Each structure stands twice: as C-alpha cells, then as structure tokens.
Amino acid sequence: MKNSKKYAKKIKRLVASEASPAPVRQTDLIALLVEGVLSEDTTLAKASAAITTLGEEFTDFNELRVSPLRDIVEVLGEDFPGVREKAGTITAAIQAVFDRTNSLSLEFLAKMTKREVRSLLRDEIGLSPWSESVVTLYGFGGHAMPVDDLLLEALKMGEYIHPDSDLLDLQGFLERITPGKDAISWHEALQAYSVKTAPKVARERARLRRLAQAQAKVKAKAEAKTKAKAEARAKVKAEAKAKAEAQAKAKDKKKKKVKTKTKAKAKGKAKPATKKKAKSPANTVGKKTVKKKKKAGKTVGKKKTASRRAKK
C-alpha cells in the first residue's frame, strides 16, 4: 500500500479508539464457516440471527447441504445482504468438506500449517478472503485479518487507507501491521468502526449507484445518437450508390440503343456492289480501229501540207 507508514499510524490510532470486548463466536467449525460466509458485508449480529433461523428450519448442516438454494434464500429472506450468492457459497463449501472427509468436519485442518489451512479454505472449499480469514482467525488461531467491501469503503471514507487500495491490498497491509497476539482485538475494533460507519457507506453507495445510472443513461443516449447518425449516413450512401448504379445502367442502355440504331441505319444505306462490265473484244477492236484511222488521217494531212509547201 502507498504511504504505508502514514496509514499504519492512523490505523493504530483508530484501533485504540474503537477497542471493544470480543463477541461470542461459534465454536463448531462448520457453524463458524457458515457464520463467516453470512457475516461478510454485514454485521455479526445479523449473521448470528441468520444462523439461528437456519437452525430452526433445518435439522442440521447435512440437511442444509442438500437443500435447494431457493429454500435457503426463502428462510434467510430476500433482503439479507448477498443472500443468493451466500446461500450458494454455503452449500458448495459444505459439499466440498463432505466430499473430502465423507463427513461434516474441518478437524483434518488442525494437522496442517496455517498457510496450508488458508490455501485449502480458499482454493478447495471455495471461501472468500473474508470467510477464510474468519475461520483461520477464530477456528485455528492463525494470523489473519478478515476484510470485506464494507470495511474497505469505511476506511477509505475516513482516509485511513490509500484511496486506490483494494481488498487484497488492505488485507496484506493489516496483517503486516497487526501484532499476532492482538489479531482478534484489532479485527473486532475495525469491525466496530465498520458497523458504526455502515449507514454513511450505504448513503455513499446509493449516491454512486445513482451517478452510475445517470452516466449510463447519458452514455446510452450518446450511443443511440451516434448509431442514428451512422445509420443515416449509411442510408444516404446506399441511396447515392443505388442512384449512381441506376444512372450508369440507364446510360449503358442508351448507348446500346444508339449503337443498334446506327448499325441499322448504316445497313439500310449500304448500296449493293455493282459488277464492272467486261470489255467485249468487239469494242476493243472498234476503239483501236478508230484510233488508227485518226492517226492515219493526221498523217495524210501532214503529207498534203508538206507537198503544198514544196510546190510553192
């Protein structure tokens, strides 16, 4: 966590101011597991009351294990924080224990190291960081600090931790600065502060929900507007394309029509080819004779002229 030294001092002062006697916890480990699941993001008092209600409705945890989720939800009530998710976590966790041991007991964890216990509770049993830490801290005396969203938001609002912290950051930070022997008293003090701040956190959550809803509406409106514009542009583009295609088609058709008319006209004007008359031999002879006579006449004329000149 950023500025951990600064926030460690603030947390220590908070714990000292909120010191309170530790409440009575469940001694049966399966009951502690159920309590750990139910107490996340709510008060221990509500979780304890819920366990009492479950005990009145179901014979034991084995019956709870095989009961439909809707029955558990109905018993706990729809207004119980995270009721559906928690009901599913409880039955799944109890079933995981039963599958491993063929009974409903967590005593086998006593032989493991605290690190192994925490890993198994999270990875195999399927508990959240909060629930796992409750079982580790109260059931096996491990050095664990349960943290949930309610505590995280309460500490952020009071500026006891860095505003960018998440659940794992907070848990790691608290476990580093908390003395092992004081883990339970520190947790109880932080829980007392969390419960006291819960109404303020609830108001802030409601404000953020309203803000998120307003932002979602603005975003949806902007997206709808953008979509409408895109559709309008696409429509105009499609219409322009269709118009261009129609014009091109009409132009093509006109060209073909003109071409056809031109061909037809050219075909109508074309004259049939005429054959050249063959020169007959008689004509040829006649022409030659005429030429010869003309030539002979010219010669006779020349001679007569010459003789006349001589006589003179």
Question: What average pLDDT score do residues 90-98 get?
Answer: 96
Residue carrying structure tokens 């005990």:
55
The residue type at 150: L
Residue-wise pLDDT for 122-137, tens only, equals 999 999 999 999 999 9
Specify the pLDDT at position 128: 94
Residue-wise pLDDT for 186-197, tens only, equals 999 999 999 999
pTM tops 0.75: no
How big is the chain by its Cα radius of gyration, in Å? 54
Specify the higher pLDDT residue, 24 or 228. Answer: 228
Residue-wise pLDDT for 266-282, tens only, equals 776 655 555 555 555 55
Instruction: Quote the tokens at residue 304.
Output: 């007569």
Question: What average pLDDT score do residues 116-120 get?
Answer: 95
| Residue 108 Cα distances to 4, 18, 36, 51, 116, angstroms | 37, 36, 19, 24, 12
Residues 6 or more apart whose CB falls under 8 angstroms from that of 36 comprise 127, 130, 131, 132, 133, 134, 135, 146
pLDDT for residue 301 is more than 60: no
Residue-wise pLDDT for 231-241, tens only, equals 899 999 998 99
Query: The domain 4-208: what is its CATH number?
Result: 1.10.340.30
Average pLDDT across the chain, whole number? 86
Specify the pLDDT at position 25: 82
- Give just the sign of the alpha carbon dihedral 155, 157, 160, 163: positive
Specify the pLDDT at position 312: 46
pLDDT for residue 296 is more than 80: no
User: H-type helices in 18-113, by residue range?
Assistant: 29-38, 44-57, 61-66, 69-76, 83-101
Specify the higher pLDDT residue, 90 or 25. Answer: 90
The residue type at 45: A
Residue 305's pLDDT band (cuts 50, 70, 90): low
Residues 271 and 278: their CA atoms lie apart, in Å, by 21
Specify the pLDDT at position 205: 80
Residue 302's pLDDT band (cuts 50, 70, 90): low
User: H-type helices in the chain, by residue range?
Assistant: 4-17, 29-38, 44-57, 61-66, 69-76, 83-101, 114-123, 129-139, 149-157, 167-177, 183-269, 281-311
Specify the pLDDT at position 27: 87
User: How is the chain split into domains, by residue range?
Assistant: 4-208
Nearest one of 16, 23, 42, 4 to 184, comparing CA atoms:
23
Nearest one of 151, 132, 127, 155 to 143, comparing CA atoms:
132
| Three-state DSSP state, 105 | coil
Question: What average pLDDT score do residues 92-107 get?
Answer: 94
Specify the pLDDT at position 286: 52
